[in-house]
Structure 1
Amino acid sequence: MKANSSKKTLSAAEREELFKTLKARFEKNKHRHKGIEWAKVQEKLEASAKKLRSLYEMEETGGEPDVVAYDKKTGEYVFYDCAPETPKGRRNVCYDHEALEARKEHKPENSAVEMAADMGIELLTEEEYRQLQELGNFDTKTSSWIKTPADIRKLDGALFCDRRYGHVFVYHNGAQSYYGVRGFRGSLRV
């Protein structure tokens, strides 16, 4: 599935439904964002149609985005995909465009890096992925591509993570590989 983050703004009904969904998730998972008030988050979101569109794409592809932090230096709220497993609408993707082009046959429809860019979000780094795992048990049956350091990517590799046996693991694979249970998680700063 390709993300389709066109430049259009959300309709009033889409905005209302998204706010309703985000607020309900925010209220249900207060442990993820202690000390943060929903009204202030919503105020920031209402000021940025582009960021709201990105959150809509995160939601539509199964990411279940939620606030996980407030960056005091930048004044931004940080959202991560908090779906229990890697988002369903972002699986079966290789790592990046270069990897996609390198495949001779059986190419996936898209790559994690391209989809994230189209959606206006960033792949989680290893550090961010580990921070997410402190908030719950994620990817116990799936795995997620993470932002890969340039020196590894230069050698045609890419990194992914999951949680097994009560631990978070970081693995490597050829960047052109893709699997039905591997997708990617993203972050968005608002």
Structure 2
Amino acid sequence: MSSNKRKLPASQAEELLGILKTRFEKNMKRHKGVEWAQVQARLEGSAEKMWSLNEMEMTGGEPDVIGYDKKTGEYIFCDCAAESPKGRRSVCYDEDALESRKEHKPQNSAIEMARGMGIELLTEEQYRELQELGNFDMKTSSWVRTPAAIRELGGALFCDRRYDHVFLYHNGAESYYAARGFRGLLSV
């Protein structure tokens, strides 16, 4: 998609900023020491990142600031919906997995969908860090970035939270389930 299409109309950008600000203020424990005015200034200077955040919001991700990278000066947004975003479920892991299915193909793959949204799948480490901020995926699960060595053998990794613990599992990359989606990360 060309970058000129990755820009929200002014009214939609303003509406999204309002949603993000309200979420930010309701969940201060996720971003201690971060001030909304600085986040907003950064967002207003990045039309393409605003577009990506809107994609996260529209697919049910409920993105929120979960950190600040002192090295890059970027704010880190992550999907903070209680369960894996509804608009990103029932997807296999990547394009190769999607192509390998002969029948009953899902409509998309997590990797391709994330790429199209301009976001990245969480790593296992990032997923575990997110779980320190709350209880996520108590009923669903989320694909996480899979090491190449595992993916080359046909597998892919996903995580969830059960019994007050975060679990990492494996599955064939071509598998997909109504309760499995993916969470995204975006640095702004």
- Into which bin does the TM-score normalised by the smaller protein fall? over 0.9
Tell me by how many angstroms 1:67 deviates: 0.2
List structure 1 runs of 4+ shifted beyond 6 angstroms: none
Which residue of the other structure, out of 105, 108, 116, is the alignment partner of 1:107?
105
* Structure 1 gap ranges (5+): none
Please name the residue that 1:143 is paired with.
Answer: 141
- Cα distance in 1, alignment partners of residues 4 and 137 from structure 2: 29
Secondary structure in 1 matching 2:5:
coil
Q: Percent identity?
A: 72
Secondary structure in 1 matching 2:91:
coil
Which residue of the other structure, out of 82, 85, 89, is the alignment partner of 1:84?
82
Please name the residue that 1:178 is paired with.
Answer: 176
- Cα distance in 1, alignment partners of residues 103 and 109 from structure 2: 15
* Structure 2 gap ranges (5+): none
2:77–2:185 CA contact under 8 A, matched in 1: yes
Please name the residue that 1:37 is paired with.
Answer: 35
Change (3 A) 1:82 1:75: same
Please name the residue that 1:28 is paired with.
Answer: 26
Tell me by how many angstroms 1:6 deviates: 7.8
Secondary structure in 2 matching 1:15:
helix
Please name the residue that 1:63 is paired with.
Answer: 61
Please name the residue that 2:50 is paired with.
Answer: 52
- Cα distance in 1, alignment partners of residues 168 and 5 from structure 2: 35
Q: Which deviates the most, 112-121 or 5-14?
A: 5-14
Please list the CA deviations of residues 54-89 of structure 1 after superposition, one character each: whole Å capped at 9, or x if unmatched: 000000000000000000011000001000000000
2:89–2:178 CA contact under 8 A, matched in 1: yes
2:6–2:47 CA contact under 8 A, matched in 1: no
| Residue correspondence of structure 1 range 11-26 to structure 2 within 5 A | 11-26=9-24
Secondary structure in 2 matching 1:107:
coil
Secondary structure in 2 matching 1:116:
helix
